[in-house]
Each structure stands twice: as structure tokens, then as C-alpha cells.
């Protein structure tokens, strides 16, 4: 692909965590390799999600918790591209912003990490009452289905912080659950005890993928992003996000997915793929669970998104709406209690 004309430097920005910085440098290097005549720089900042490390994600609002400060900097022109874990990006973006690039997905599964020195290899091995750390209401809801005798406790922080909490001598945690992709990108794959996948655990929407956000009117930035986009990952993630957009209403909800997209032969210059997508919604206690799968042939990203919308509609019609309404009521009650008692509430 020809290098887009660009006389200015391009500044890539992200959160300041070690993982976010590694991911941003990877994107910068991918762009620089294809466009050696352009100067790429990086910038890092703390977001609301980084500053508030005590309150449960379940109660603090939508995913803009991780992105709004970055988007403000981009819209005012101090940075040009935002690099995100795609799972942290709201399904509805602020006016003037868009996702222009998606890199090839790392393994999207969750993984179990046991405290150092313990002999256990799987969740099935753990004694009743073992404490599992996670900041995800989705993970808690799904794992309670299969492991009702385990205890789940909120565990916030970046990967370094959560691993330190796990391994501390006075740690309450027997194990923690994290996204496998982050561990792999940081070179910490040896700490992974085992993967957690379907049917026990369905991963978060767009987990394992990196997304690049731009100003909608920045054609040069869009061309750069398209040059490193992995369309198979993009189609899969957009289908998943379309499903979540219908279900979530902007809040943290226990929605899990698993997607397979297989490219099929077609005429030169055209694209065609078989999309298999499964979605599920699980109640907070794990006692109710709605799951459905759709398989379809798609020729565009928009067709994939339509399949994601259809999946959400089937889930709603088969019981997800009541589960989500109950979760919304629970969240409101917890927030009200916390406000009345001047306390922060965990999952």
C-alpha cells in the first residue's frame, strides 16, 4: 500500500500501564515499518479507570471510564491515534471519533493464574471456599455456574498490580482470572496455569484485539490505520460489538462471546467468510444462563454486524432481557446503598 501523504508527525496515545505502553509501541512499530517516511511518536496518560482502583467496575459506569480522557486529548488535537484494548472501548463512541484500525487478534480466552507455590492446576482442583480474584462481573457470573462453592472477590489494578496482590504473603487469593492476551503480550505466558474457554467461560466482546481510534475527519490517520488492519479480526470484533451494543445499554453486563471466522475462496479483490458466533448472558449468581449460536456467510463487515444484532435479538427473546433488567435493578440498589452509607461497593 502506498504511504499516505503526511507532513506532520503522528502521535499515538494510550493509557500509562505497562501493557498499554507495550501495545502502543507494537502499533507504532507496525506503522513505521510500512511508512518509514513518517515520524511516529507515543504519549501516555492515566485515565479515570487507572486512578480509581478501589471501586468495582460493575458500579462505576460504562467503558468510557477507560477512554474519555484520551478521546478529549485527541479531539483537541494534542494526539492523533488512540491505541486501545478493543474490549475496553464503548460500543458507542463520542461524536467525531471512530475506530479506523484493528490489529490481528491475540488468543481471546481468559486464563487462570494460580498463586505461586500452590499445586493446583485447574479450577476443579481447588478446595471449596478458595478465593478467586477478578474485576469482571462476566467472569464471576459464568464461573459461579460451574463452581458455586468457590468465592469470588474483586481484584482491581493493572496486570502487574494484580499479580502482586495474588502473590503477596497475606493475599486472600488462591488464584486470579485475567485475559490471556495481556499476559502473552507482556511475555508472562509462563505464569498461566490453564486457559478458560467454552462451555465454562465465554470471553469478553473483542477481547484479545487492539483497536485504533481516530478523529473522524482525519483522512490521513484513517489511511494509516487501514494499512495495518487485519480484516478477519475486524469483522469478528464488529459482529461481537454489535451484539453487545443491543444488549448492554452502556453498562457492564455479563455478556460472553466466542467467534470463529473462516475466510472462503472468492473472486480476486472480494472477501467472503463463514462466521460462527455464540453469545451468552448469565445472571449474577450464575443460576440463569441464556446462550445461542448463529452461523452465516458474510461478504462485508456490515453483514457481520447484522449477524451480531440478530444474535442479540434472539438472546433477548429467549430470556436475556429479564436477566439484564434484574442486573440493572441490582446495580441501582448497590449504588444507592453505597451513597447512603458513604461507602464503595464491590461485585
* Domain's final residue, options 171, 196, 221: 196
For residues 245 and 178, membership in a common domain is answered with no
> Nearest Cα to 210, choosing from 11, 5, 3, 15?
15
Specify whether the CB–CB gap between 154 and 52 falls below 8 A.
Answer: no
The pTM of the full predicted model, rounded to 2 decimals, is: 0.90
**168-191: buried (b, 16+ CB within 10 Å) or exposed (e) per residue?**
eeebebbbbbbbbbbbebbebeeb
In this model, does residue 267 exceed pLDDT 70?
Answer: yes
For residues 260 and 192, membership in a common domain is answered with no
For residues 83 and 147, membership in a common domain is answered with no
More confident residue, 332 or 240: 240
Specify whether the CB–CB gap between 120 and 182 falls below 8 A.
Answer: no
* Domain's final residue, options 146, 172, 196: 196
What percent of the chain is helix, strand and coil (3-state, nearest 5)? 40, 20, 40
Q: What size, in residues, is the chain?
A: 347
Count how many domains the chain has: 3
Q: 40-45 and 10-15 as β-strands: parallel, antiparallel, unpaired?
A: parallel
Largest CA distance in the chain: 64
- pLDDT tier for residue 302 given thresholds of 50, 70 and 90: very high
- The answer as to whether 278 is a domain residue is yes
For residues 75 and 129, membership in a common domain is answered with no
Mean pLDDT of 123-130: 97
For residues 322 and 234, membership in a common domain is answered with yes
- The answer as to whether 275 is a domain residue is yes
For residues 314 and 334, membership in a common domain is answered with yes
DSSP code per residue over 208-231? T-EEEEEETT-HHHHHHHHHT--H
DSSP for residue 53:
-
- The answer as to whether 204 is a domain residue is no
Assess whether 88 carries a catalytic annotation. yes
In this model, does residue 345 exceed pLDDT 80?
Answer: no
- The answer as to whether 282 is a domain residue is yes
Could you tell me the CATH number of the domain that includes residue 28? Answer: 3.40.190.10
- pLDDT tier for residue 4 given thresholds of 50, 70 and 90: low
- The answer as to whether 36 is a domain residue is yes
For residues 265 and 247, membership in a common domain is answered with yes
In this model, does residue 15 exceed pLDDT 90?
Answer: yes
- Sign, Cα dihedral of 337, 47, 166, 130: positive
- The answer as to whether 203 is a domain residue is no
Which residues, in sequence order, are CB contacts of 331 under 8 Å at separation 6+?
A: 58, 59, 251
How high is the pLDDT of residue 200? 95
Predicted confidence (pLDDT) per residue in 96-111, tens digit: 999 999 999 999 999 9
Could you tell me the CATH number of the domain that includes residue 287? Answer: 3.30.160.40
CA angle 291, 292, 295 (to 5 degrees): 155
Q: Which of 80, 88, 110, 154 is catalytic?
A: 88
In this model, does residue 238 exceed pLDDT 50?
Answer: yes
- pLDDT tier for residue 68 given thresholds of 50, 70 and 90: confident
Average pLDDT, the chain: 91
**Domain containing 220: what range?**
7-103+209-229
- pLDDT tier for residue 323 given thresholds of 50, 70 and 90: very high
Q: Which of 15-24, 109-118, 262-271, 282-291 has the lowest mean pLDDT?
A: 262-271
- The answer as to whether 201 is a domain residue is no
Q: How far, in Å, are 37, 154, 243, 311 from residue 294 at the CA level?
A: 45, 33, 12, 7
For residue 40, give the 3-state DSSP assignment. Answer: strand
Q: Which three cell numbers stand for residue 177?
A: 482470572
For residues 337 and 215, membership in a common domain is answered with no
For residues 97 and 218, membership in a common domain is answered with yes
Mean pLDDT of 184-210: 97
Q: Which three cell numbers stand for residue 229?
A: 488492519
For residues 237 and 273, membership in a common domain is answered with yes
For residues 31 and 177, membership in a common domain is answered with no
Q: How far apart are CA 7 and CA 327, in angstroms?
A: 50
How high is the pLDDT of residue 1? 47
How high is the pLDDT of residue 46? 81
In this model, does residue 52 exceed pLDDT 90?
Answer: no
For residues 140 and 214, membership in a common domain is answered with no
Amino acid at each position: 500500500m502506498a504511504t499516505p501523504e503526511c507532513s506532520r508527525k503522528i502521535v499515538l496515545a494510550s493509557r500509562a500501564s505497562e501493557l498499554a505502553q507495550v501495545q502502543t509501541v507494537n502499533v507504532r512499530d507496525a506503522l513505521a515499518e510500512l511508512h518509514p517516511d513518517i515520524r511516529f511518536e507515543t504519549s501516555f496518560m492515566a485515565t479515570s479507570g487507572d486512578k480509581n482502583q478501589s471501586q468495582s467496575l460493575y458500579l462505576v459506569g460504562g467503558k468510557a471510564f477507560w477512554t474519555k480522557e484520551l478521546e478529549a486529548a485527541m479531539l483537541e488535537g494534542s494526539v492523533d491515534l488512540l491505541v486501545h484494548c478493543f474490549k475496553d472501548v464503548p460500543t458507542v463512541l463520542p461524536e467525531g471519533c471512530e475506530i479506523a484500525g484493528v490489529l490481528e487478534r491475540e488468543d481471546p480466552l481468559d486464563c487462570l493464574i494460580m498463586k505461586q507455590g500452590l499445586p493446583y492446576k485447574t479450577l476443579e482442583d481447588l478446595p471449596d471456599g478458595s478465593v478467586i480474584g477478578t474485576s469482571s462481573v462476566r467472569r464471576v457470573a459464568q464461573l459461579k455456574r460451574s463452581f458455586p462453592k468457590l468465592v469470588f472477590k474483586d481484584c482491581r489494578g493493572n496486570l502487574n498490580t494484580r499479580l502482586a496482590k495474588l502473590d503477596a504473603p497475606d493475599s486472600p487469593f488462591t488464584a486470579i482470572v485475567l485475559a490471556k492476551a495481556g499476559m502473552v503480550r507482556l511475555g508472562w505466558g509462563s505464569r498461566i496455569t490453564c486457559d478458560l474457554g467454552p462451555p465454562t467461560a465465554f470471553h469478553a466482546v473483542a477481547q484479545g484485539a487492539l483497536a485504533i481510534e481516530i478523529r473522524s475527519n482525519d483522512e490521513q490517520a484513517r489511511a494509516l490505520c487501514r494499512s495495518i488492519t487485519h480484516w478477519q479480526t475486524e469483522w469478528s470484533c464488529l459482529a461481537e460489538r454489535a451484539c453487545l451494543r443491543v444488549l448492554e445499554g452502556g453498562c457492564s453486563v455479563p455478556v460472553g462471546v466466542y467467534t470463529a471466522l473462516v475466510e472462503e475462496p472468492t473472486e480476486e479483490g472480494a472477501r467472503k467468510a463463514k462466521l460462527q458466533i455464540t453469545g451468552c448472558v448469565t445472571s449474577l449468581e450464575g443460576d440463569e444462563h441464556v446462550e445461542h449460536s448463529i452461523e452465516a456467510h458474510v461478504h462485508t463487515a456490515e453483514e457481520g454486524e447484522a449477524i451480531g444484532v440478530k444474535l442479540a435479538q434472539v438472546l433477548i427473546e429467549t430470556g436475556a432481557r429479564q436477566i439484564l433488567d434484574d442486573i440493572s435493578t441490582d446495580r441501582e440498589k448497590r449504588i444507592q446503598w453505597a451513597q447512603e452509607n458513604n461507602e464503595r461497593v464491590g461485585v
